[in-house]
Amino acid sequence: MEFGEKLQQLRKNCGFTQEQLAEKIFVSRTAISKWESGRGYPSLDYLKSISKLFSTSIDELLSGKELIQIIGTDNQKKMKNLRELIFGIFDCLPALLLFLPFFAQRENDVVRHVSLLVLDIDSVYIRTVFISFIGLIFIFGIAELALQNFQHEIWLKYKTPVSLFLSIFAVVLFISSPLSYAYAAVFMFCLLVVKGILLIKRR
């Protein structure tokens, strides 16, 4: 007997409707329907809730093949969540450029290292572009962290490409700037490389 059939049988034996079962384990009725029809499996956490509710073991609910599949899916989901968390943190880190001495500035034949906020830039326009762009990356990073569980299709599809685009553009922006921006360029490039490694390992 497949997991879906076992779940349906246990639910009916206890006199629960799909909606009542959903309320007891804090999922939607659609999720219960999906599991019972064999179109998906619950996560390990929900499996524990189900086994506890019906006073049965996970081994009795699942065949060995089903359990291996769920564990594999669960691990993939955890790795995806971890990668997205790292992306969000890395997109917040460029804000350090505003406050830490990543930029070389010559003053009376002496080279000092200063932050972007203190850096003497002749053009107000260029200063505004740099600070605004760093702020944009930071805001996007905050959004990534705050919306970890947001499941809208457009957000899921574009958040990683947008994160990569912002990092690539930042690297190009600093590389094409004066030599005094080299440390900032290296810093942004390192963040981009780590993101790339995480995406390659996903495959």
pLDDT of residue 99: 95
pTM of the model: 0.74
- The backbone region for 108, taken as left when phi is positive above 0, alpha when psi lies in -120 to 50, beta otherwise, is left
Query: What residue spans define the domains of the chain?
Result: 3-62, 79-202
pLDDT, greater one: 50 or 181: 50
Q: For 109-136, how does the pLDDT look when each residue is reduced to its tens digit (9 = 90+)?
A: 888 899 999 988 878 888 899 999 999 9
Q: Per-residue pLDDT averaged across 11-32, rounded?
A: 95
pLDDT of residue 203: 62
Lookup: tokens for 191? 């963040």
* Closest alpha carbon to 196 in 160, 154, 158, 170: 160
Distance CA 6, CA 187 (A): 54
Instruction: Find residue 103's DSSP bridge partners.
Output: 114
Domain 3-62 has CATH 1.10.260.40: yes
Q: Any idea which residue has 């076992």 for tokens?
A: 6
Q: For 35-87, how does the pLDDT look when each residue is reduced to its tens digit (9 = 90+)?
A: 999 998 998 889 999 999 999 999 899 888 888 888 888 888 888 899 999 99
Q: Per-residue pLDDT averaged across 177-195, rounded?
A: 91
